[in-house]
């Protein structure tokens, strides 16, 4: 990067931190703004266009929605990804499960979008770690691990999902794998080993598929508080808007949604279509709940919502059922209380609720995998960029400790809650504000909102500047 790119010309420069799917779409939309003359996309691992989610290379690491639901460049391009697959020779078979293509293909699609921007000469790809953001003369300066100081009028944080939190009570040890996405994390697991997976969500399913398809682990036990695997998806069905559900309380919402599912079942409409119709308004519904009701939802309904919301391809669900029937996997309900390595094994102390009451049970395994999902309490780990933002007061924890706080225009809120011009937040760290933030189309839509906000801000700035 030239010296000019580092300092002068900051008014027309945008820095995007995070090179995954959201960072890619943000770069694409910024390139459509005439006022943005240069975009600097920073990614710590150099996974431009892919991030962690779409870097998985195995065919069994698949999208959890069919290709035709992934959309394209915008809401006006709903078949963009599916059309790209056809154009690049990736045939999708007739079975509904065939549409749940390997995640790496969506990563290829994102890389193609990024390559098009890079070819314009307006995009700089920088493999580096952003460590700090500072205010300076009305702009922001991004400082990196390599010693760079990049000044820009616009900075967008596309931070993606963090790794899982350390499970309380579990002692770190070689036999406890804290992050299954670390390169080579599962390589040492043998074909006759006994494995316990803590968690039963999408990450846990990925771990099971990886172990089984690679011929690892004789037996796999999955443990979570609710003991629920994600449910199965079905082909889309027409469903009228679900506007007959009370939205003022979490309990009323659950009861109303169940009633809505029952009413529409008589019309042949599956529950999946009802949930999808309801979730279209998820951000609006979330913002309309009181803080008390949001807290109740998080305590009692979060897990239930996720297993209905983030579903499995039918063939994956069938495969897991076969594994359960064969005794290869077992799903257990329990709360992990403690754990430590014992010789060449790891022992977990699990609290389980049975017919005779609460009991503590020790489970021994060769390996334990932490698949509890991303740690959304970003304030818990004060390292790196997020830690610096919190320490300097440029950010504060999001509502209910979820991610970071921002306003409805995605402007990052400072320690006093004031939104900051030119500093934006996109993706999973906005869950406390918008709730529905994980799916790729949601992140892409957030990027369009931010791009429009930036366009309006830069347009107003240009209009107010004195003529020369």
Residue whose token pair is 């009692």: 300
pLDDT in tens, 158-210: 998 988 999 999 999 999 999 999 999 999 999 999 999 999 999 999 999 99
Average pLDDT over residues 34-45: 96
Confidence class of residue 8 from pLDDT cuts 50, 70 and 90? low
Mean pLDDT of the residues in the chain: 93
Query: According to the model, what pLDDT value does residue 461 have?
Result: 43
Query: According to the model, what pLDDT value does residue 7 have?
Result: 53
Query: According to the model, what pLDDT value does residue 380 have?
Result: 86
**CA dist 102 → 207, 232, 313, 355 (Å):** 15, 17, 12, 42
> Structure tokens of 423?
């500093």
Q: What is the pTM of this model?
A: 0.92
Lowest mean pLDDT among 120-124, 126-130, 186-190, 349-353: 349-353
Domains, in order of start, for the chain: 3-61+102-161+375-464 (3.50.50.60), 176-230+311-370 (3.50.50.60), 250-309 (no CATH)
Question: Do 344 and 366 meet the contact criterion of CB atoms below 8 Å apart?
Answer: yes
**CA dist 436 → 102, 240, 312, 429, 430 (Å):** 23, 21, 18, 11, 9
Question: Do 363 and 221 meet the contact criterion of CB atoms below 8 Å apart?
Answer: yes
Alpha-carbon distance of 268 to 240, in angstroms, equals 12
Query: According to the model, what pLDDT value does residue 421 have?
Result: 94
pLDDT in tens, 280-327: 899 999 999 999 999 999 999 999 999 999 999 999 999 999 999 999
Alpha-carbon distance of 250 to 271, in angstroms, equals 19
Query: According to the model, what pLDDT value does residue 467 have?
Result: 37
Asked if residue 466 has pLDDT above 80, the reply is: no
pLDDT in tens, 341-356: 998 899 999 999 776 7
């Amino acid at each position: 990067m030239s010296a000019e790119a580092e300092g002068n010309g900051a008014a027309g420069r945008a820095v995007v931190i995070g090179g995954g799917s959201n960072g890619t779409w943000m770069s694409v939309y910024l390139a459509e703004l005439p006022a943005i003359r240069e975009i600097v996309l920073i990614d710590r691992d150099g996974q431009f266009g892919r991030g962690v989610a779409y870097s998985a290379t195995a065919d069994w690491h698949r999208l959890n929605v069919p290709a035709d639901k992934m959309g394209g460049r915008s809401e006006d391009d709903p078949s963009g990804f599916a059309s790209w697959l056809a154009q690049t020779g990736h045939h999708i078979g007739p079975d509904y499960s065939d549409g749940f293509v390997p995640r790496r293909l969506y990563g290829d699609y994102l890389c193609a979008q990024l390559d098009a921007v890079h070819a314009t000469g307006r995009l700089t790809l920088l493999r580096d770690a952003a460590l700090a953001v500072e205010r300076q003369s009305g702009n922001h300066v991004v400082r990196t691990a390599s010693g760079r100081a990049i000044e820009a009028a616009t900075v967008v944080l596309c931070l993606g999902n963090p790794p899982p939190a350390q499970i309380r009570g579990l002692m770190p040890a070689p036999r406890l794998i804290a992050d299954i996405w670390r390169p080579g994390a599962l390589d040492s697991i043998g074909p006759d080993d006994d494995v316990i997976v803590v968690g039963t969500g999408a990450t846990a399913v990925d771990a099971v598929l990886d172990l089984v398809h690679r011929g690892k682990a004789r037996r796999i036990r999955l443990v979570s508080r609710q003991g629920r695997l994600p449910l199965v998806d079905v082909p889309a069905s027409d469903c009228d808007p679900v506007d007959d559900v009370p939205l003022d309380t979490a309990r009323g919402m659950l009861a109303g949604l169940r009633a809505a599912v029952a009413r529409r079942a008589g019309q042949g409409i599956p529950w999946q279509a009802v949930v999808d119709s309801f979730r279209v308004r998820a951000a609006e519904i979330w913002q309309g709940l009181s803080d008390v009701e949001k807290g109740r939802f998080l305590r009692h309904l979060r897990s239930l919502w996720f297993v209905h919301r983030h579903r499995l391809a039918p063939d994956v669900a069938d495969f897991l059922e076969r594994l359960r029937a064969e005794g290869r996997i077992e799903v257990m309900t329990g709360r992990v209380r403690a754990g430590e390595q014992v010789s060449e094994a790891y022992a977990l102390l699990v609290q389980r609720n049975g017919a005779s009451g609460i009991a503590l049970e020790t489970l021994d395994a060769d390996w334990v995998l932490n698949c509890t999902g991303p740690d959304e309490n970003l304030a818990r780990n004060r390292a790196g960029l997020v830690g610096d933002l919190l320490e300097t007061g440029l950010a504060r924890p999001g509502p209910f400790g979820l991610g970071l706080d921002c306003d409805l225009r995605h402007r990052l809120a400072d320690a006093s809650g004031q939104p900051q011009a030119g500093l934006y937040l996109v993706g999973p760290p906005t869950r406390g504000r918008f709730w529905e933030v994980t799916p790729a189309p949601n992140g892409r839509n957030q990027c369009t909102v931010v791009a429009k906000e930036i366009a309006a801000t830069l347009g107003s700035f240009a209009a107010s500047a004195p003529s020369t």
